[in-house]
Structure 1
Amino acid sequence: MTKSNQGIQPRPLFDSVESLQGPLIEYRTARPQLSEYLAQFPSTIDVESDLELARRFLLSYSGSPSTFKGYRSYIERLILWSWIVQKKSVTDLIRSDAEQFMAFNNTPPAAWVGGTVVRRFMKNKGQLVFNKMWRPYGIKIAKAMRKHAAEQDISLAGAKCQPARASKVLMFSVCSSFYDFLAQEGIDIANPIKSIKQKSAFVSQTRIKRQGKSLTKMQWDFLIDQAEAMANADPKHERTLFIVVALFAMYLRVSDLAGNKDWSPTMGSFVKRGDSWWFEVVGKGNKERDISVKDAFLPYLKRYRQSRNLSPLPFKDEEEPLLVTKGGREGLKARQIRNIVQPVFDGARAKMIEGGHTEEEAQELMEATLHWLRHTGATFDAPNRDAKHMQMDLGHESLATTQDIYYNSINEERASSNRGGIRR
């Protein structure tokens, strides 16, 4: 590997999709440090061209915020590595460079790794400046490990960055798409990523079985009991109970409750057609879907609405926000929803321990995130529901995804049904 550009630290190149949609000169003017940063690189590297080409590539995914953010991270890593380590423009990389980059991506050095997700740029005297805490790579520390470290006052410094297999696969895909985009833009370049023959050297080819993380039936019982107890003790927790049961009963993602820049859920998102209730969402990828509402969920919807002095059930086109803050402001962000529900997980875990259950039996309640509630509800229902119906309510593109996760994940039941002896 060539000697890197000494003294140049990796810094963020791209900000939000909105900030990149205007002229590049305006983007740079608002971030004067970026121009100073680019000026550090030798003239043999066409940083200006690389920046503009990458910006155009990323903007082609502006319709999907989550895709844009993911692609931004991968392309930024490629560009920074090309400039700092290889001393090359991304348009000058060849197959051997691509192989070195993939090896670098598998084990990035400590100077390129941060511990938490932070803002890329921060405001300072009316200008946007680099957040020096930002790094191209981040360490994903399990929730249970973070909670345990906090409880035991243990430092997590020094944890290693080990990209997951899915992340490595996506890195190949995104970088390859970038070079295909350059070719379509008229850049005379061979795709150095596609020319890598032995991808297995960087990405394991072993099939990883997809399985949604879920609670056991006992853990769920403790969780719902805790949510109901909190709501019975204090009406402010009716909102908490509603969120917990909605995520579980309708297999919702947090974004289905938080909404997005183009859509916000209202009470009118609940619609009755004939004898059945449906919940209409604009979910992942800005795709509309109708989710069937089970009868057992309606009592929780009624008590939540009554806690807000509304009629027991929604009426057609009702514009009342689905979730409001304590002060009555419309809508809650995903982070706020997580903070609201976390005490339920903590309380349920404590009740399990107090009741004589072991830490091992309560472990998942320490690890669990809100997404686990979606998986838990779907896992419990899978044995009694048609896979196609589950797929539609979950919003999966492929029936195979639903089957792989929920119809092949009931391992305990399958194992317990095979307890018979050899001699009968």
Structure 2
Amino acid sequence: MGSIPRPCFETLKEFAKLDPDSVDGELSVIQDFLNQCPASSLSTKSYLLVKQFLIKHTEPTRYTNYRSCIERLLLWSILEAKKSITDLNEGDIQEFMSFCTSPPNSWVADKFCRRFTPGKLKQAIGFNPAWRPFRFEQPFIGGGRSRIVYMAGRGALAMQMSVVASFFMHLHYSDLIAINPAQRLHAAGFYAISLPVHTGANVFTDEEFAVLMLTLNNLANRDIKHERTLLMIASVYYLRLQPSEIDSLGGDLTISAMRLMQDGTYDLVEEKFPSNHAWKIHPEFVDHYINRYRKKFGQQSIPLEHDHTLLLGKIRGKDSISSAHARLLFRTVCQAVIDRLIESGCVVSPDSGFRKASLLWLRETSMHHSSRTLGMDDVIRLVRKSNAETAYQRFFAWRS
């Protein structure tokens, strides 16, 4: 059996007729689904506990909201964790909430779908194959061939956590579990909607970033001395470097440190780099920018792991550039973009990103782009020199 999530609860009108202590009278498709779930999940037992909780929340609006949230927990527990819902621990709840932040495509519908197909008799009612526990409010297809993944909003996660906490409190007060696995996470307010939010304003728009890189590519095509600037800008963007890290890591960031990982991304394999094996560097950085540089300077014949060229090296000398020098180069490129736009007849407003941007904008823009396609846990691991709560808040700013 595949782990395709199926709806477990009908409309409030039909649900109110059910016996909370048994599956007698349930739709046959629901009973069959529960019987086919992994035995370790004790799916029928878990289902009955959830049903008994929902019975306490049968006001029309509340039922709809609670059903969606608690059904996700039930399906995740029996299909993904393969555990009885009473066996979930605090780590499981954290994993579930991360799952809700960015569920796989197989759990997300593109539009609103009915839960079941109609039938004159209960035995004839079936699952709507298009239904999923999550759905896009406004489906969005990204540029190129990649589809933007589903990302839950802060309000949706706050509601999800609130219902989960209420469910486990119900189990705890009913002496069905000894420890409430959601208590500390909920009390900490980690998913609360009232958390202060980072503005997320210091990023280039997609159009601005495309113009920035196109201008820099054109500069490098006309004058080879700009190849170093192109590699520097790309390194800061793809490695998500803070300006201070240019000073602290620049002397060790060599092309030879790049290694292709099993998921298709690259990583920095040297132990001296923080968050080892968690950099998730897009392959475009190596395929386009590093290989372009190596070809221009006749180093393409040297294996990548033997090329000790500094990514942030000076044009002359063996040392790496400083953050101050990097800022100067970045501002020079931004001015070149402004000049090019003006020459093309465009009006560059005082609020243009190219007039306001600092070097830090490259990292913020990269994190913004990463948050579109990576899950919350992956993005938070990319954040260095920051605590978990700050990283969490910034994730939602970058994702916006």
TM-score over 0.5 for the pair: no
Q: Which has the larger radius of gyration?
A: 2
- The alignment's TM-score, normalised by the length of structure 1, stands at 0.42
- The alignment's TM-score, normalised by the length of structure 2, stands at 0.45
